Structure 1
Amino acid sequence: MASSNNKKSIILGVVGLLLVVLGAVLVFVVPIVVKQQVEKNVRIDPSSGFAYEMWKDLPVPFFMSIYIFEVVNHKEFLLGEKPKVEQRGPYVYRESKQKTNITFHENGTVTYIETRLLQFEPKMSTGSEEDFIVFPNILVLGSSVMMQDFSFVKWMLSGAFAAFGQEAFINRTVKDILWGYKEPFLDFVNTLLPGKLPFKDKFGLFADYNNSNSGIFTVNTGVADINQVQMVDTWNGLREVNFWNSEQANMINGTSGQMWPPFRTPDQPLEFYSPDACRSLKFVFEKEDSYRGIPTFRYVAPNYLFANGSDYPPNEGFCPCTASGVMNVSACRAGAPLFLSFPHFYNADPGFVDAVDGLHPSEDLHSLFLDLHPLTGIPMNVSIKMQLSLFVKGVSGIPQTGQISPVILPLLWFKESGYIDGPVYNTYYNTLIVLPIVLEYVQYILIAVGLCLILVAAVLPCVHQKWENILQDPGETTESDQVTEAEKLLEEPDLSPQT
């Protein structure tokens, strides 16, 4: 019986020890497995399967919501009064992006063109593309400011405005304003001033945006160095642009703005090159957060993003500047006096808001954010917001511009938003979130169970011995007891009387 109990204890002890060793090994192995799994899923490699297909053709909801500012007192504005605007929209478009002409290079980079297509979503919109809106005529107001120092050209422009019936404001549909319409006057201006306007065949703020691409990107695949994955090598063959006035301002930094290298830490900002802004942008860490159970870092735009050179010296290269809060992008828009800012001049100098009635900047409504999964560098939830404005004024010699007081007039603002959802979310969550968590729990469960088995193996012989003593009957005379009693009787002397 004792031999059988000892054997059970030895078996339990050995099994427990094996479980503890296995759990301890997993403590070191799990982080390595997770790291390898992350690297496999974020590098740009056709052999990575799901991750590569997701990079090539992002199968998640992505929308562009556009809000247009209608000038509701355009007649009074022409007479010198402060402009008053009303926000119309949103006009929402589903945005799809697909990478084509993908070419891998021996130096660990890949070149591609990303085509974007937008489709109107009536059910998500407030209004129709057929809504009419009173809107600044950029062809008149923009070209007038551009030519204000050229007397002869101003005289020709003024005559052309009259001949083509051009006025300072137009009443056109949302579809025309955004996506363009044929305008004979545009052909005339492009003939008179070739290359001076950012509009070619049609006039429209996004005439060249839909069914187009943002240039030729060459980025690092991360196969050789995962810390360089997605980082831009060149854009349109360039490592820096020539729009701005300093080497730092012209640098092409970061990624293309869709993903970042994995294993992020809060002290690492998110940098990316935006062809639409013609410059590299930087977002900074704000706080730790989560998206549907996935831990994230929230990144926001720093206060100095659109600061002028006086308030933030590194931005001096983007000048000529106004007060902080708006960025002059005329250098990359054929000289058109266009400005970029946050919606409603949020986080800008108060003077911009005071100059226009109808603006109501709000952090909740007009600030941008990007929620990034720091382990993989993949955005989970994004809301990028920007406003486009036009500098307008009355130009002497061009009566169509009236007596407009100089002002940066907001034209529209847009929000690009997207989030991980559906089968993509499920695959991502199970592969990169659930699996590491399960492995982490398994390692500690194995160690705990192993230690319990070792403890049981140690105390089991003692328990068995104790129970044997308790269960034994005290009145029962064993065979050995009977032998001892007989020996005692034989040894005792006979004390009975003799006869």
Structure 2
Amino acid sequence: MLTCWEVNSTPPAGSSVLNCKEVSFIHKMLRIRRAKLLKIVLAALIAIFVIITMTLLGITMSFQEIFLKILYQNLVYAPGSKFFEVWNASDVSKVKFMAYVYNLTNSQEVLNGGRLNFEEIGPFVYDEHITRINTHLSEENPPKRIRFSHRHVFVFSRASSVGSTYETKIIAPNMQYMHFGGTGQHPFVTYTVDELLWNNRYTVLGFNVANFGLFASRNNSITKPITLDTGVENIRNVGKVLELNGKRRHNLFKQDEADMVGGFQAERLSPGLEVGTSVKLLISSVCRSVRAYAVNKTSSVHRSDVELVVFSGMLPGTSDPSTNWEERIYCNPKEACPPKGLVSFKKCLQKDGGNLDLYASLPRFLNADARIVKNMDGIPEPNEKEHGSYIHVEPLTGLTLEGLERIQLNILMANKNKDYQSMKGPYYMPIVWYIRENIADKATMDAFKTQILDARTNTAFAIQLACGLFGMMSVFWAVILAVLCLRTRKQAEEEEQLTSVVKCTTFSLGNYESGTPDVESVETSSILSDET
């Protein structure tokens, strides 16, 4: 039992007397021990919060890299990829196809040496159903290559068109005559729109020998198999064309750069492309690649909060073979290069047995050599917005979410024999221009925004918020520790100044009768030293 006595009081017999300063020192040491324990706990809490904060800060700084790594793993053409699962399950798509035909209203005047006069008629609208077939992955694990083909079927939409393709008639160049190169026929003939586009059949003894419909080879047909890079080795190469019909070369051009099969399909490009970059697109119908340029940014049709990069081809300053070597390498060394803004089909058609001098351009000769339309009337003035060819690509993933392919087909006509009479020229005669419109629907855009774009933003915000909270908690506990240290120091200084003297005795619990203490008095300072 511990009892405190006044200085002049007599302590009970059998007690040990302790000095006042020694008692004060004991109490002080106990408080110091408790304070030290509390300091250790607070210091541990601060250390934990600092470690968590620094970890979150590190994650925040490297979040983009981590997120992109996970995202890219799900963009490849390989089992386990989210993109591949969706892509492989949805093998049917639909594209809106609209054609505008040119009617030559004064064919006889042209043969007499007059100017060309055209009437543009359209649109004639079709639903183009595209089915992916014969998909095959290479045998590596994970696969490095994927091969597939497409089947195209066109279904006419009378309600959306200006008229019936079987009833609407036009005058256009005689395709059969120009293919065979004979004489004794008229250079211009009357077609129905259906014949011009799909069913211009050449028969011998009742047998169909050839079909000169401009798009006959597309309808109800299977495209040549195309082989793409799956992207498992390098995400920048995902979707890059490696082979066309099992071949790495077109075998049409002398320059290796022109003859090698390469570029991307318009359906998807390399991730991370921004305005100012460019990419080559393989156009299999002309057996060559065309460079597309990222010229602008735009909002999605269905969601204004989804930003897309606009890629466009055949720009005014890039489509001239005389100034752009990438166009010049496709020229025939024995012939002059096509005028600015025209791309020749001739070699590609000859490869498949065709013999028409066809050229592609943008509708209404947009960005083409102005001399082409100098002797033509009835060609409306074009503009980039309505007659340019674009794909709208989401830059993070490289996926094409909107596409507007606008192409015009033209045929070169020259006065080669008496059948052309007094016709001037040569002319790049426009025949038809078309639009292929493919825009992701709103449901797709909503899912894309929520599952990819918002996930990226929300996760980054959550990590930054957690980092801030743990940082604030670290500061909070550090302030408490600092206050505790100051209070402990102040109390210690005050206790040093205590001067009251108290005598304390420790009663012996087991021996009151003897009158002598059970434990001899010893120096308290030495006991405390041992305890300490």
Alignment of 1:10-49 (within 5 A): 13=46, 16-17=49-50, 20-28=53-61, 30-49=63-82
**1:60/1:218 Cα in 2 relative to 1: closer, same or farther (>3 Å)?**
closer
CA deviation map 1:223-281 (0-9, x unaligned): 23323221122111221212334333222221233212323355642212111122111
- Over 3 Å counting, the alpha-carbon distance change for 1:55 and 1:392 in structure 2 is farther
SS in 2 for 1:315: helix
Query: 1:27 & 1:221 partners in 2: Cα distance?
Result: 30
Cα gap change, 1:138 to 1:364, in 2 (>3 Å): same
**Stretch deviating more after TM superposition (326-335 or 276-285):** 326-335
Tell whether 2:111 aligns with 1:78: yes
Q: Which residue of 2 aligns with 1:318?
A: 330
Q: Distance in 2 between matches of 1:61 and 1:463?
A: 71
Find out whether 1:440 has 2:440 as its counterpart: no
Mapped partners of 1:45, 1:116: distance in 2: 25
Which residue is equivalent to 2:385? 364
- Matching of residue 100 in structure 1 with residue 133 in structure 2: yes
Cα distance 1:52–1:273, how it changes in 2: closer, same or farther (>3 A)? farther
Asked whether 1:142 is paired with 2:178, we answer yes
The residue aligned with 1:378 is 399
Query: Does residue 303 of structure 1 match 2:316?
Result: yes
Q: 1:393–1:403: 8 Å Cα contact kept in structure 2?
A: no
**CA–CA separation in structure 1 for the residues paired with 2:399 and 2:70:** 14
Give the conservation status (yes or no) of the 8 Å contact 2:74–2:80: no
Q: Is the 8 A contact 2:73 2:81 kept in 1?
A: yes
Tell me which of 440, 444, 469 is aligned to 1:424. Answer: 444
CA distance in 2, matches of 1:10, 1:109: 57
Conserved 8 A contact 1:251-1:280: no
Partner residue of 1:117? 153
Q: What CA distance in whole angstroms lies between the structure 1 residues aligned with 2:89 and 2:288?
A: 24
- Quick one: structure 1 residues 421 and 141, their matched pair in 2 at CA, closer, same or farther if it must change by over 3 Å? same
Determine if contact 2:154/2:220 at 8 Å carries over to the other structure.
yes
Shift in CA distance, 58/265, structure 1 to aligned 2, threshold 3 Å = farther
Aligned: 1:261 with 2:270: yes
Q: Which runs of no fewer than 5 residues in structure 2 stay unpaired?
A: 1-33, 487-499, 501-532
CA distance, structure 1, for counterparts of residue 475 and residue 481 of structure 2: 11
**What amino acid is aligned across from residue 377 of structure 2 in structure 1?**
D
In structure 2, relative to structure 1, the CA distance for the partners of 1:229 and 1:238 (3 Å cut) is same
Query: 2:219 aligns to what SS in structure 1?
Result: coil
Instruction: Report the alpha carbon displacement of residue 139 of structure 1 after superposing the two structures with TM.
Output: 2.7
SS at match of 2:447: helix
Match of 1:249 among 258, 262, 266: 258
SS in 2 for 1:215: coil
Q: 1:282 to 1:200 in 2, by over 3 A?
A: farther
Paired with 1:380 and 1:366, the residues of 2 have a C-alpha distance of 19
CA deviation after TM superposition for structure 1 residue 44, in Å: 0.7
**Partners of 2:46 and 2:418 in 1: CA distance:** 99
Report the secondary structure of 2:134's partner residue.
Answer: strand
CA distance in structure 1 between the aligned counterparts of 2:227 and 2:299, rounded to whole angstroms: 32
User: Per-residue deviation at 1:347?
Assistant: 0.6
Residue type at the aligned position of 1:385 = R
Report the CA distance shift for 1:220/1:351 in structure 2 as closer, same or farther (over 3 A).
same
- Which one has the largest radius of gyration? 2
Post-superposition CA distance 1:333-382 (Å, at most 9, x none): 22311111111111111111222111222222211222212221111222
Structure 1 residues 56, 69: closer, same or farther in 2, change over 3 A? farther
1:408-487 equivalent positions in 2, closer than 5 A: 408-459=428-479
- Give the Cα separation in 2 of the matches to 1:380 and 1:281: 20
Take 1:460 and 1:61, find their aligned partners in 2: how far apart are those partners? Answer: 66
Does the 8 Å CA contact 2:239/2:265 hold for their aligned counterparts?
A: yes
> 1:13/1:122 Cα in 2 relative to 1: closer, same or farther (>3 Å)?
farther
Q: 2:424 aligns with which of 405, 418, 440?
A: 405
Q: TM-score, normalised by structure 2?
A: 0.73
Q: Structure 1 counterpart of 2:439, which letter?
A: Y
Per the TM alignment, residue 23 of structure 1 is displaced from its structure 2 partner at its CA by 2.4
Percent sequence identity is 19
For each residue in 1:423-475, what CA deviation from the matched residue of structure 2 results, as whole angstroms up to 9, or x when unmatched? Answer: 43233222221111111111211122222223333445789999xxxxxxxxx
Deviation of residue 216 (structure 1)? 1.4
Find the counterpart in structure 2 of residue 478 from structure 1: none
- Are 2:408 and 1:387 equivalent residues in the alignment? yes
Residue aligned with 1:438, SS: helix
Match of 2:343 among 310, 318, 327: 327
Say if 1:22 and 1:446, in contact at 8 Å, map to a contact too.
no
Length, aligned pairs only: 444
- 1:285 aligned partner: 294
Whole-angstrom CA distance in 1 between matches of 2:136 and 2:191: 46
Give the drift of 1:70: 1.4
Report the alpha carbon displacement of residue 388 of structure 1 after superposing the two structures with TM. 0.3
Give deviations 1:192-216, integer Å, cap 9, x for gaps.
xxxxxxx954331111111223311
Distance 1:462 1:218 in 2: 68
Distance in structure 2 (CA, Å) of the matches to 1:87 and 1:377: 36
Compare the two structures and name the one with the higher helix fraction: 1
Question: In the alignment, what sits opposite 2:218?
Answer: 209
2: CA distance, partners of 1:117 / 1:460: 75
Distance 1:267 1:240, change over 3 A: farther
Match of 2:369 in 1: 349
What whole-Å deviation, never above 9, does each CA across 1:278-311 have from its counterpart, x for those lacking one? Answer: 2111111213444332333222224355423x33
List aligned pairs for 1:53-202, cutoff 5 A.
Answer: 53-54=86-87, 57=90, 62-106=95-139, 108-139=144-175, 142-143=178-179, 147=181, 154=182, 157-158=183-184, 161=185, 168-172=188-192, 174-184=193-203, 187=204, 200-202=209-211
Instruction: Give the distance between the partners of 2:89 and 2:251, measured in 1 at CA.
Output: 29
Q: CA deviation at 1:25?
A: 3.8
Q: Which runs of 5+ in 1 are unaligned?
A: 148-153, 192-198, 467-483, 485-499
Paired residue type of 2:345: V
CA RMSD of aligned residues (A): 3.6
Normalised by the length of structure 1, the TM-score is 0.78
Query: Kindly tell me: are residues 28 and 58 of structure 1, through their superposed partners in 2, closer, same or farther at Cα, counting changes over 3 Å?
Result: farther
1:24 to 1:335, Cα distance in 2 relative to 1, 3 A: same
Give how far 1:327 is off.
2.3
Q: What amino acid does structure 1 have at the position aligned with 2:374? A: D
| In structure 2, distance between residues paired with 1:9 and 1:125 | 78
